[in-house]
């Protein structure tokens, strides 16, 4: 009897799925490591897919804290947040610290954006945690949605959410240029969140 693909649909050849928005985004921003990044984003997507924004923010926050510890190491993290300084011999020089902070902020924001694109999130902002997440995104549509929220409702809700989420504060701190209002706000929010969690 001849092989008939219609009787064995699992064996019939199908075209590969079209690249999703997250995959295209990661291929564009991380051309040499997009496959690994896509796996990380897919894992995060599975963790946050069916939970409300408050729980999503907690998952992202934990991820950001772990990434900060892995990428900045304790000495870089301490230098970033203005905590107890390591001995002079153990400190990163300014350029090295800026590179590590930039890498951490870029990676974290890229993962966040890929997850939002994977989830096909609507740009309507309903919660402060969602607005804060959209604000850190690298997708223009999500960033505009966060800007609309802050235009009509101010920054108070986002700042209060930032005060509960030290990982988000670290990403904002690492992404902000030195001596800016955003950097000071992020540092204050980080220390407030750390003190509340103790």
Residue at 23 is within a domain: no
Residue 118 three-state SS: helix
Of the candidates 100, 116, 124, the residue with the CA atom closest to the CA atom of residue 57: 116
The answer to whether position 132 is within a domain reads yes
pLDDT tens-digit map of 123-175: 888 889 999 999 999 999 999 999 998 888 888 889 899 999 999 999 999 99
* Per-residue confidence (pLDDT) for residue 198, from 0 to 100: 67
Longest CA pairwise span in the chain (Å): 78
Query: Contact 161/128 with Cβ under 8 angstroms?
Result: yes
Give the total residue count for the chain. 198
How large is the average pLDDT for residues 87-99?
Answer: 78
Does 119 reside within a domain? yes
Q: How many CB atoms lie within 10 A of CB 176?
A: 18
Residue 24, domain member (yes or no): no
Cβ atoms 125, 148 nearer than 8 A: yes
Note whether residue 16 is domain-resident.
Answer: no
Say how far apart CA 148 and CA 155 lie, in whole Å.
11
If one counts the domains in the chain, the total is 1
Residue 21 within any structural domain of the chain: no
State yes or no: pLDDT of 3 exceeds 80.
no
- 106 pLDDT higher than 90: yes
Q: Identify each DSSP E strand in 43-166 by its residue range.
A: none
The set of residues, in sequence order, having a beta carbon less than 8 Å from that of 85 and lying 6+ positions away, is 78, 79, 91
Please report whether residue 162 resides in a domain: yes
State the average pLDDT for the chain.
Answer: 85
Structure tokens at 158: 């986002």
DSSP state, residue 3: -
Rounded to whole angstroms, how far apart are CA atoms 58 and 64?
Answer: 10
Domain hosting 137: range is 32-82+91-197
Q: Is the model's pLDDT at 51 over the cut of 50?
A: yes
In a domain, residue 3? The reply is no
Find the helix packing angle between 166-175 and 94-119, rounded to 10°. Answer: 120
């Amino acid at each position: 009897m001849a092989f008939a693909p219609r009787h064995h649909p699992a064996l019939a050849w199908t075209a590969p799925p079209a690249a999703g928005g997250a995959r295209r985004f990661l291929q564009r921003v991380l051309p040499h490591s997009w496959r690994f990044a896509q796996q990380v984003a897919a894992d995060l997507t599975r963790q946050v897919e069916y939970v409300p924004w408050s729980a999503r923010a907690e998952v992202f926050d934990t991820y950001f804290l772990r990434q900060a510890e892995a990428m900045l190491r304790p000495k870089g993290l301490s230098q970033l947040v203005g905590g107890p300084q390591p001995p002079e011999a153990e400190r990163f020089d300014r350029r090295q610290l800026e590179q590590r902070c930039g890498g951490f902020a870029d990676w974290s924001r890229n993962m966040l954006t890929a997850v939002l694109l994977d989830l096909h999130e609507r740009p309507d902002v309903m919660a402060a945690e969602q607005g804060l997440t959209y604000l850190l995104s690298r997708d223009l549509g999500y960033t505009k949605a966060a800007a609309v929220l802050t235009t009509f409702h101010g920054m108070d809700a986002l700042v209060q959410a930032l005060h509960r989420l030290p990982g988000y504060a670290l990403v904002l701190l690492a992404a902000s240029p030195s001596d800016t209002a955003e950097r000071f706000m992020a540092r204050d929010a980080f220390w407030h969140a750390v003190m509340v969690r103790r």
